[in-house]
Amino acid sequence: MSNNPTQPPKFTRRSLLGGAMAVTIVQTTLAKGLQVGRPNDPTKQMGVPPGKLGSRSRFETLAKSPSDISSRSPLQDFQGMLTPSDLHFERHHNGVPTIDPATYSLTIHGLVDRPTVFSLADLKRFPSVSRIAFLECSGNFRTGKDTMTPQDICGLTSQSEWTGVRLSTLFREVGVREKASWFLAEGGDAALMTRSIPVRKGWADAIIAYAQNGEAIRPEQGYPVRLFLPGWEGNTSVKWLRRIELGDAPWHTREETSKYTETIKGGKVRQFSFDIDARSIITFPTYPAQIERGWVEIRGLAWSGRGKVTRVEVSTDAGKHWQVAELQDPVLDKAHTVFRHLWRWEGVETLIMSRVTDETGYVQPTLRQLLDARGPDTGGYHMNPVTAWLIKPDGRVLYQPDYGR
Amino acid sequence: MTNPWLLIPIFLMNWSGWKAVSIHSFRPRTSAGASAGKADTLPERFGPGAFGFGKLAKPEQVAALDIDVRPDGTGLPAGSGTVAAGAVLFSAKCAACHGSGGTGGPNGALVVTTAVPGKRPAKVIGNYWPYATTVFDYVRRAMPFNEPGSLTNGEVYALTAFLLYSNKLIDEKTILNAKTLPAIRMPAQPSYVPDDRKGGPEIR
């Protein structure tokens, strides 16, 4: 099928043979369609019959932006709190593996009474749980030029409903011993990626997830089973989970030493930085949008790995004044929350920006505040600065990389 | 609104679960988070094996998967490797991505090189990795990138020896094995500190 909206849709075998009774009528309609040249009046055409899978309108062109190691969600194109599963960001360390659910297994061993191998069917028999929560890579800040979209700046965050079995349920089933304080989560991908996780997170809210937005997890998100740790840096939610080992100390794997650590003041290296600090970003209007004078609804997303968003403020005068934005229900724990602020733009050049406060009282910092706190060499992990957009007099919108520096 | 009376039996069920937790086998803990609320919710009777789903893992099944190595050397296999053997392997299997001798290629440097004025030194094994055992663990599980899992344990010891030697952490005569590798002290280790962020108004 052509994706070009200027081309007429092609009649597929399915659309023609959708119902035997309709075939003759379809043929007549087809003839008319061909006579007219382009069937641009949907009220004068038979529609496509029901199908096995839904599809996105061919007029919609939203897409992830892939690099060699990741693919970023088009935040500026979303209209709600949930990320469509096929647009959930990707980050992996040696590609997406193909895992047969019939032969998949999860082994839990180490400091447990009953080392156990669970099949996928076994995992699905346990009491299940669902929650809507964001997942964000901790290396989710890019900057440097004014022609950047929200997707370019922080597209490594997405939100889904995750369903599976509580890890606490499995901890009970295998009899995690008192001495166990950390567990190793290992993926079954070509990187055999591993992270050490405190056992307390497993008892608190970890999910061994097998479903995402109501269906099996997508391969890019860990099919058939992943660990999901609400509010924690994405790398710890190990995908394609094949093994959990309970131990009494962290393993200091490559992904928790060489990577996913940040330099802070005094030459120190901060390690096991699990929680995602609160962040917000305006998703409209942003580059490459061009706005017109009059009423503009400023829209965006806000989230915190430490709890609920309690407030989002928006400034339309370069940070001189801040107004409280409206939060869209539901405002969930450790979840993307939609915010909106209605603004009348009179054609004057200005900067617009948002900042979030979470239920711990944390207020989203500026880049300067982050660099002052951590030193200039901190690198790219756990960077969540207030993000500003320049509105030009002609309505063009540009990212402001130097704001708050 | 939920009728509060409906919640009482659930609450009591949970409470009895917490109170009677066996001291030796499991202990559900509440979260340190601001709004946990999703903690372990099973009643007390669900102790080890209560559901009976899954199969007990045989020792050989676990052994086939259990390749992780800890800083104290737990998990290191038998075998050994030399710097000289590692140098040959590195040229053949690693230099295309990491440069000659690990000095930098399309997938980054692995060894400390002479500082370039005005440029931040790359974070590599010799100046950033806190434990030498991590080099062995990572190479064994993930390298070479296009042939993961293809190296013998002896080859992994040899490559680890070559990389530690190239970072001036061991001399060229050192033979790495399960005893010598965990004894190596890494310069970066004392710099590592746990996360000090804790929410609230302070920016860290």
Identify all chain B residues contacting A252, using CB atoms and an 8 Å cutoff.
70-71, 130-131, 133-134
Residue A33 has pLDDT above 60, yes or no: no
Select the residue of A271, A306, A373 nearest B193 (Cβ to Cβ).
A271
User: Which of B97, B125, B195, B198 would best serve as a mutation to test chain A binding (most A beta carbons within 10 A)?
Assistant: B195
A220 and A317 within one domain: no
Q: Supply the Cα-derived Rg of chain A in whole angstroms.
A: 24
**What is the span of the domain harbouring residue B127?**
75-191
From A208, A242, A270, give the residue that closes a domain: A270
Six token digits for residue A285: 């209007």
Chain B residue with minimum CA distance to A120:
B54
A307 occurs within a structural domain: yes
Identify all chain A residues contacting B36, using CB atoms and an 8 Å cutoff.
204-205
A105 occurs within a structural domain: yes
Rank A30-39, B32-41, B107-116 by mean pLDDT and report only the highest: B107-116
Select the residue of B36, B149, B204 nearest A205 (Cβ to Cβ).
B36
Q: How sure is the predictor about A40, in pLDDT bands with cuts at 50, 70 and 90? A: confident
**Whole-number mean pLDDT of chain A?**
92
Asked if B69 and A250 touch (Cβ cutoff 8 Å), the reply is: no
Q: How far is B172 from chain A (nearest CA, A)?
A: 24
A31 occurs within a structural domain: no
Chain A residue with minimum CA distance to B57:
A116
Residue A20 has pLDDT above 60, yes or no: no
Asked if A388 and A353 touch (Cβ cutoff 8 Å), the reply is: yes
**Omega into A376 within 30° of 0, i.e. cis?**
no
Domain harbouring B137, CATH code: 1.10.760.10
Q: How sure is the predictor about B115, in pLDDT bands with cuts at 50, 70 and 90? A: confident
A43 occurs within a structural domain: no
A392 occurs within a structural domain: yes
Please give the average per-residue pLDDT across A199-205, as a whole number: 97
B41 occurs within a structural domain: no
What pLDDT, in 10s, does the model give residues B12-37?
Answer: 333 333 333 333 334 444 433 333 34
**Whole-number mean pLDDT of chain B?**
85
ipTM of the complex: 0.89
Question: Which ranges in A37-146 belong to alpha helices (H)?
Answer: 120-125
pLDDT score for A38: 59
A131 occurs within a structural domain: yes
A191–B141 C-beta distance less than 8 A: yes
Rama region for A289: left / alpha / beta (φ>0; ψ in -120 to 50; rest): beta
What pLDDT, in 10s, does the model give residues B61-102?
Answer: 999 999 999 999 999 999 999 999 999 999 999 999 999 999
SS3 at position A351: strand
From A270, A294, A323, give the residue that closes a domain: A270
Residue A310 has pLDDT above 60, yes or no: yes
A35 occurs within a structural domain: no
B38–A131 C-beta distance less than 8 A: yes
From A220, A242, A270, give the residue that closes a domain: A270
Residues 2-31 of B with CB under 8 A from A: 23-31
**What is the span of the domain harbouring residue A339?**
279-399
Residue A24 has pLDDT above 70, yes or no: no
B65 occurs within a structural domain: no
Chain B residue with minimum CA distance to A376:
B120
Please give the average per-residue pLDDT across B135-141, as a whole number: 98
Identify all chain A residues contacting B137, using CB atoms and an 8 Å cutoff.
194, 251, 253-254
pLDDT score for B40: 75
What pLDDT, in 10s, does the model give residues A121-157?
Answer: 999 999 999 999 999 999 999 999 999 999 999 999 9
A283 and A199 within one domain: no
Which of A273-277, A314-318, A326-330, B119-123 shows the lowest per-residue confidence on average (mean pLDDT)?
A: B119-123
A323 and A264 within one domain: no
Q: Which residues have a Cβ under 8 Å from the Cβ of A405 and sit 6 or more positions away?
A: A366, A367, A368, A371
B166 occurs within a structural domain: yes
Quote the CA–CA distance of B151 and B162 in Å, as a whole number: 15
**Exposed e or buried b per residue across A214-240, where buried means at least 16 C-beta atoms within 10 angstroms of its C-beta:** eebbbebbbbbbbbbbbbbbbbbbbbb
B53–A122 C-beta distance less than 8 A: yes
pLDDT score for A197: 98
User: Which of B18, B41, B68 would best serve as a mutation to test chain A binding (most A beta carbons within 10 A)?
Assistant: B68
Identify all chain B residues contacting A362, using CB atoms and an 8 Å cutoff.
199-201
Identify all chain B residues contacting A117, using CB atoms and an 8 Å cutoff.
54-57, 61
DSSP-assigned beta bridge partners for residue B82: B175
A265 and A176 within one domain: yes
Select the residue of B62, B142, B200 nearest A115 (Cβ to Cβ).
B62
What pLDDT, in 10s, does the model give residues B41-58?
Answer: 788 788 899 999 999 999
Measured between alpha carbons, how far is residue B132 from residues A182, B177, B180, B184 in Å? 20, 12, 10, 6
Residue with tokens 């950033």: B128
Quote the CA–CA distance of A342 and A325 in Å, as a whole number: 8
SS3 at position A185: strand
pLDDT score for B116: 82
What pLDDT, in 10s, does the model give residues A354-401?
Answer: 999 999 999 999 999 999 999 999 989 999 999 999 999 999 999 999
Select the residue of A194, A203, A377 nearest B29 (Cβ to Cβ).
A203
- In the A/B pair of chains, how many CB contacts fall below 8 A? 228
B191–A173 C-beta distance less than 8 A: no
A196 and A124 within one domain: yes
pLDDT score for A81: 97
pLDDT score for A258: 97
Please give the average per-residue pLDDT across A238-249, as a whole number: 98
B23 occurs within a structural domain: no
CA B171 to chain centre: 26
A289 and A152 within one domain: no
Number of structural domains chain B divides into: 1
Which of A10-24, A288-302, A382-396, B90-104 shows the lowest per-residue confidence on average (mean pLDDT)?
A: A10-24
A241 and A290 within one domain: no
A264 and A348 within one domain: no
pLDDT score for A117: 98
A304 and A246 within one domain: no
A18 occurs within a structural domain: no
pLDDT score for B118: 82
B61–A114 C-beta distance less than 8 A: no
Asked if A287 and A148 touch (Cβ cutoff 8 Å), the reply is: yes
Please give the average per-residue pLDDT across A63-71, as a whole number: 96
Identify all chain A residues contacting B41, using CB atoms and an 8 Å cutoff.
166, 168
User: Which of A270, A309, A355, A372 would best serve as a mutation to test chain B binding (most B beta carbons within 10 A)?
Assistant: A270
B203–A369 C-beta distance less than 8 A: yes
Residue A263 has pLDDT above 60, yes or no: yes
Identify all chain B residues contacting A190, using CB atoms and an 8 Å cutoff.
142, 148
Chain A residue with minimum CA distance to B194:
A271
Sheet with B192-194: strands ordered across: A262-263, A269-271, B192-194
- The 8-class DSSP code of residue A396 comes to B
Residue A29 has pLDDT above 50, yes or no: no
B35–A308 C-beta distance less than 8 A: yes
DSSP for A267-318, written as a single string: G-EEE---BPPPEEEEEES-TT-B--SEEEEEEEEEE-TTS-EEEEEEESST
Number of structural domains chain A divides into: 2
B35 occurs within a structural domain: no
* B117 burial via Cβ count (<10 Å: 0-12, 13-18, 19+): exposed
A239 and A171 within one domain: yes
Q: Is B57 within 8 Å of chain A by CB?
A: yes
A213 and A100 within one domain: yes
A377 and A228 within one domain: no
What pLDDT, in 10s, does the model give residues A95-105?
Answer: 999 999 999 99
B117 occurs within a structural domain: yes
Q: Is B123 within 8 Å of chain A by CB?
A: yes
